[in-house]
Structure 1
Amino acid sequence: MLSGLRKRTKTILWITAGAFVGMMVFAWGMDITGRRSRSFSRTIGEVNGRSISVQEFQRMLQRAYLQYKQETGQEPDQRNLVRETWERLVTELVLGDELRRRGIVTTDLEVVQFLLANPPDFARRYKVFQDSSGNFDVKRYRSFLTNPSTFQDPMAKSLVLYMEDWARSVIPFWKLRQEVLAGVKVSDPEVWERYRAEHERVKVRYVQVPFRDIPDSLVGVGKEEMLGYYQAHREEFWRGRRARLLYVAFPKVPTRSDSLVALEEAEDLARRARAGEDFAELARDYSDDPGSARKGGDLGYFRRGQMVKEFEEVAFELKPGEVSDPVLTRFGWHIIKVEDRKDGQVRARHILVKVEPGEDTLDSLYSEAQGLLEEAEEVGDLRKAAEARGLKVEDTGFFGEGTFVPGIGSAGALASFAFQDEVGALRSYEGDDAYYVVQLVDRREAGVRPFEEVEGTVKMRVELEKRKKLAEGRLKPLLEMLSQGMGLKEAAEKLGFEVEETEEFTREGYIPGVGGRNSFVEAAFTLKEPGESSGIVTTGRAAYILELIKRTPADTEEFRRKKEEIRRKILAQRRQEVYTAWIEGLKKRARIKDQRYRFYQF
Structure 2
Amino acid sequence: MLDQLVKKQKVIIYIIAIAFILSIGAGGIFGGEKIIQALGGNYLGKVNGTKITPQQYNLKIQEIKERYEAQGQKIDESYMPYIQNTAWEELVNEILWQQQIKKHRIKVTEAEIKNAIENDIPQELLQNESLQTNGVFDKKKYFQALNNNPQFKLQMYEYMKTYLPRKKLQQKIMSEAGITLDSLKQEFIKENDKVYGKTIWFSYHKADSVYVSDAEIKKYYEEHKDTEFKKGPASRIKYITIPIQPSERDYNEVKLEIDEIYRMVNPENFPIIAEQYSEDESSAKQGGSLGVFGRGQMVPEFEKVAFSLKPGEISKPFKTDFGWHIVKCDSIINDQIKASHILLKVTTSDETKREFYEKAKQARKLIAKKGIDAAAKELNLEVITSDWLPHDQQQIPGIGQHGGLHQFMVKKKPGKVSDVFQLNIQGKPSYLIAQVVENRKFYYEDFNAKKLQIKYDLERQKKIALMKAKAEDFIKRVPKDKYFDVAAAEGWDIIELKGHKKDSRLPAPVNATLEEFDKAALALNTGQYSDIVNTKEGPFIIYAEKREKPDMQQFTKEKQEEIRKRLEEAAFNRWWQQIRKEAKIIDNRYKYGYY
**TM-score for both structures, normalised by structure 2:** 0.70
Instruction: Check the 8 A contact 1:219/1:466 in 2, yes or no.
Output: no
Change (3 A) 1:102 1:382: same
Matched, 1:112 2:114: yes
Asked if 1:368 is matched to 2:378, the reply is: no
Q: CA deviation at 1:535?
A: 0.8
Instruction: Look up the match of 2:529.
Output: 532
Q: Structure 2 matches for 1:164-183, cutoff 5 A? A: 164-182=157-175
Aligned residue for 1:216, secondary structure, equals coil
**Partner residue in 1 for 2:92:** 90
Hey, what's the Cα distance between the residues in 2 that align with 1:353 and 1:225? 59
- Check whether the contact 1:298–1:348 (CA below 8 A) recurs between aligned residues: yes
Which residue of structure 1 aligns with residue 142 of structure 2?
141
1:427 equivalenced with 2:419 (yes/no)? yes
3-state SS in 1 of match to 2:430 = strand
Shift in Å, 1:142: 0.4
Q: Which runs of 5+ in 1 are unaligned?
A: 10-21, 31-35, 151-155
Paired residue secondary structure (2:311): coil
| 2:42 aligned with 1:42 | yes
- 1:328–1:25 distance in 2 versus 1, CA, 3 Å: closer
Name the counterpart of 1:408. 399
CA distance in 1, matches of 2:549, 2:327: 59
- Give the Cα–Cα distance (whole angstroms) in 1 for the partners of residues 355 and 389 of structure 2: 31
- What is the CA–CA distance in structure 2 between the aligned matches of 1:441 and 1:256, rounded to whole Å? 34
CA RMSD of aligned residues (A): 5.5
- The correspondence of residues 229-308 of structure 1 with structure 2, limited to 5 A, is 229-230=224-225, 234-252=226-244, 265-266=257-258, 268-269=260-261, 274=266, 279=271, 282-283=274-275, 286-288=278-280, 290=282, 292-293=283-284, 297=288, 299=290, 302=292, 308=298
Structure 1 Cα separation of the partners of residues 230 and 296 of structure 2: 50
What is the rounded CA distance, in whole Å, between the counterparts of 1:524 and 1:343 in structure 2?
A: 63
Following TM superposition, by how much is the alpha carbon of 1:91 offset from its aligned partner in structure 2, in angstroms? 2.5
Matches of 2:227 and 2:472, distance apart in 1: 37
Q: 1:471 — aligned with what?
A: 466
CA 1:412–1:50: 2 relative to 1, 3 Å: closer
User: CA contact under 8 A between 2:204 and 2:464: conserved in structure 1?
Assistant: no
> Partner letter of residue 496 of structure 2?
E
Deviation at 1:478, TM superposition (A): 0.9
| Identity in percent | 20
**Take 2:206 and 2:492, find their aligned partners in 1: how far apart are those partners?**
17
Structure 2: which amino acid aligns with 1:583?
W
- Residues 136-159 of structure 1, C-alpha deviation per residue, up to 9 Å, x if partnerless? 8652230243x5xx5xxxxx4455
Q: Distance in 1 between matches of 2:315 and 2:191?
A: 60
CA–CA distance in structure 2, aligned partners of residues 194 and 226 of structure 1? 41
| Contact 2:212-2:458 at 8 Å conserved across structures | no
What's the counterpart of residue 215 of structure 1?
210
Residue 398 of structure 1 is aligned with which of 385, 388, 391?
Answer: 388
Of stretches 89-98 and 508-517 in structure 1, the one that deviates more from structure 2 is: 508-517
Equivalent-residue separation in structure 2 for 1:469 and 1:108 (angstroms): 66
User: Per-residue deviation at 1:107?
Assistant: 1.8
AA of the residue aligned to 1:535:
I
Q: Give unmatched runs, 5+ long, in structure 2.
A: 10-27
Q: Partners of 1:24 and 1:545 in 2: how far apart? A: 57
Aligned equivalent of 1:15: none
Question: Is residue 523–residue 537 contact of structure 1 (8 Å, CA) maintained in 2?
Answer: no
Give the whole-Å Cα distance in 2 for the aligned partners of 1:23 and 1:135.
Answer: 47
Displacement of 1:317 in angstroms is 4.4
Match of 2:18 in 1: none
Shift of residue 78 of structure 1?
A: 4.0
Matched, 1:440 2:435: yes
Distance in structure 2 (CA, Å) of the matches to 1:336 and 1:572: 62
Closer, same or farther: CA 589–481 of 1 in aligned 2, 3 Å: same
Paired residues, number: 554
Contact 1:244 1:397 in 2 (8 A): yes
Q: Give 1:393's aligned amino acid.
A: V
- Specify whether residues 336 and 216 from structure 1 end up closer, same or farther in structure 2 by C-alpha distance, changes over 3 A only: same
**Aligned partners of 2:519, 2:119: CA distance in 1, in Å?**
50
Counterpart amino acid of 1:399? Answer: L
> What do the CA deviations read for 1:34-79 (whole angstroms, capped 9, x no partner)?
xx99x65434444444444455545544554555555545247443
2:534 aligned partner, one-letter code: V
Structure 1 residues 5 and 276 mapped into 2: Cα distance closer, same or farther (>3 Å)? farther
Letter in 1 for 2:94: E
1-structure distance, mates of 2:476, 2:3? 88
Deviation of 1:428 (Å): 1.2
Contact 1:535 1:545 in 2 (8 A): yes
CA contact (8 A) 1:23 1:66 kept: no
Contact 1:520–1:537 (CA<8 Å) still a contact in 2?
A: yes
- Aligned AA for 2:91? L
Q: Which residue of 2 aligns with 1:498?
A: 490
Once residues 505 and 329 of structure 1 are traced to their aligned partners in structure 2, the CA distance between those partners, rounded to angstroms, is: 56
In structure 2, do the counterparts of structure 1 residues 221 and 296 end up closer, same or farther at CA, with 3 Å as the change threshold?
same
Distance change (3 Å), C-alpha of 1:297 and 1:204: farther
Q: Is the 1:248–1:394 Cα contact (8 Å) retained in structure 2?
A: yes
Q: Output the amino acid matched with 1:139.
A: K
Q: C-alpha distance in 2, partners of 1:405/1:100?
A: 34
Q: Helix, strand or coil: the match of 2:421? A: strand
